[in-house]
Amino acid sequence: LVLLLIGCRTKSVQYHVAYEGVGFFGFEKLNHTYLMNKCVKSKKELVELCEEYSNGFYDKNSRIYDNDIPKKIRSYDESFFNNNDLIIIVVEKNDSFEYKINDIFIDNSEIVVNLKKVRNHGTFTDEAYGYLFLIELEKKEQVEILLNVKDK
């Protein structure tokens, strides 16, 4: 449930979902998690985040180097970041439900990503895995980015 109060400044933003599907970004050792929601503003920041999450996306000796997700991540160069930011979200998912992006907007200085959780019908196992979103966000204005992912 997301509540928007009348009088709050909300602005729509231009975005493109570049990837949505099963996947991980890596594992953050400090917090012992693979779940994440980050807004990346530069190539340098992206490379540092990949190192922090030990994902091997930039390591030519990594067994996943030639997989689709690492290739997509490496495709983001400085020219991309001149006009865009990259939002990376990993949520925990299982076969009994799906996540979809419902809306993305700016509320004051906070980017809000509303994820819609849709239940699947049937019988499923209880396995959990990562579900990755790569969202390309147009830089229209300079706002301090506090990413807030809400399950709607």
* 3-state helix/strand/coil string of 18-78: EEEEECCCCCECCCCECCEEEEECCHHHHHHHHHHCCCCCCCCCCCCCCCHHHHHHHCCCH
**Which one is predicted more confidently, 70 or 139?**
70
pTM equals 0.81
pLDDT at res. 110: 75
> CB under 8 Å to 63, separation ≥6 — which residues?
56
Alpha carbon distances (Å) from 103 to 2, 76, 130: 11, 23, 21
Q: Which of 41-45, 109-113, 140-144 has the lowest mean pLDDT?
A: 140-144
For all residues of the chain together, what is the average pLDDT?
80
Residue 106 has pLDDT above 90, yes or no: no
86-100: b (≥16 Cβ within 10 Å) or e: bbbbbbebeeeeebe
**C-alpha gyration radius of the chain:** 16
Spatial strand order of the sheet with 36-40 comes to: 15-22, 129-138, 84-93, 36-40
pLDDT in tens, 32-58: 577 788 889 999 999 999 999 889 999
Closest CA to 54 of 87, 80, 32, 21: 32
